[in-house]
Amino acid sequence: MTTTLPKIAWIGLGIMGSPMSEHLIKAGYDVTGYTLEQEKLERLSAAGGTAAGSVAEAVRGADVVITMVPASPQVEAVAYGPEGILENARPGTLLIDMSSITPRTSVDLAAAAGKKGIRVLDAPVSGGEAGAVEAVLSIMVGGEQTDFDAARPIFEALGRTVVLCGPHGSGQTVKAANQLIVAVNIQACAEAVVFLERSGVDLGAALDVLGGGLAGSTVLARKKDNFLTRDFKPGFRIDLHHKDMGIVTDAARTVGAAIPVGAVVAQLVASLRAQGDGGLDHSALLRGVERLSGEQV
């Protein structure tokens, strides 16, 4: 018996959203997309998808709506209002928000969508542009088990690690913790890079051996070439990590959890952004360490 795949509307075709939507097209899904950039819509069409002229047009008739936009304000902008998802998607639609936003925004969205008969999962991802391109993302999900089970084939076309973390908002809470760990890890790597170079050590050799021991990490493996070449083309921008550090700082304060190292790194991310590096990859935290060490960058 042939099973018909759900029809998908994809909202947000940025650095992450474009390759992710294309993986679904390759997996056989009918994908209609909408984003603000015309060239991204043309890319979707070239990949076999359908370009829509608005959010409302994209979601009408969809079985599943996936959003992948920068932050809470953008999620609210595409979800609410007369042209938004909740007013134009049909009852029974599954809305999967894969953006990284505040847990409270996810909880509120699920409640509002429920009144329209729309089911919701918050499903932020980790892995950056490379993870999206290679379909090896880690996907942390909040919501109901039955909705998670229905969405699993979609998630498995996009990522390698897919976990239901708890009720609505749980996925975003875990993503906040992820961003805390990643930022602290990048900062530690950046400090090690400057220390090693100042000490006259062969940096490539040093990073290779560190990567093979307890100091090794996905962050070091993914960002090693950025550090070696000083290529900070954005895979995940400082601007977005600044937003995420604000989320985790606020969420930790709400629950009474101390994150002293995280608070310091949040300030270092904010400082780098204030110096005009917000559009660079988060591995550019190395530039902040170099400036603190007296280098002109």
Question: Is 175 known to be catalytic?
Answer: yes
- Spatial CB neighbours of 28, under 8 Å, sequence gap ≥ 6: 5
- Spatial CB neighbours of 295, under 8 Å, sequence gap ≥ 6: none
**Angle subtended at Cα 275 by Cα 272 and Cα 279, rounded to the nearest 5 degrees:** 70
Name the β-bridge partners of 67: 11, 97
Distance separating alpha carbons of residues 118 and 141, to the nearest angstrom: 17
| Range 111-114, long-range pairs (CB < 8 A, 24+ positions) | 112/79, 112/80, 112/86, 113/79, 113/86
Q: At what angle do helices 260-272 and 285-292 cross, to 10 degrees?
A: 90
Q: Which of 216, 251, 236 is nearest to 281 (CA)?
A: 236
Give the Cβ contact number of residue 180 at 10 Å.
23
| Amino acid in the structure at residue 200 | G
Angstrom distances, CA of residue 132 to CA of 72, 111, 129: 21, 29, 5
DSSP 3-state percent helix, strand, coil across the chain (nearest 5)? 55, 15, 30
Pairing of strands 119-122, 94-97: parallel
Active-site choice (175, 223, 224, 243): 175
Helix (H) or strand (E) holding 103: helix 103-114
CA atoms in the 13 A half-sphere facing the CB of 274: 6
Distance separating alpha carbons of residues 91 and 169, to the nearest angstrom: 22
Catalytic residue set: 175
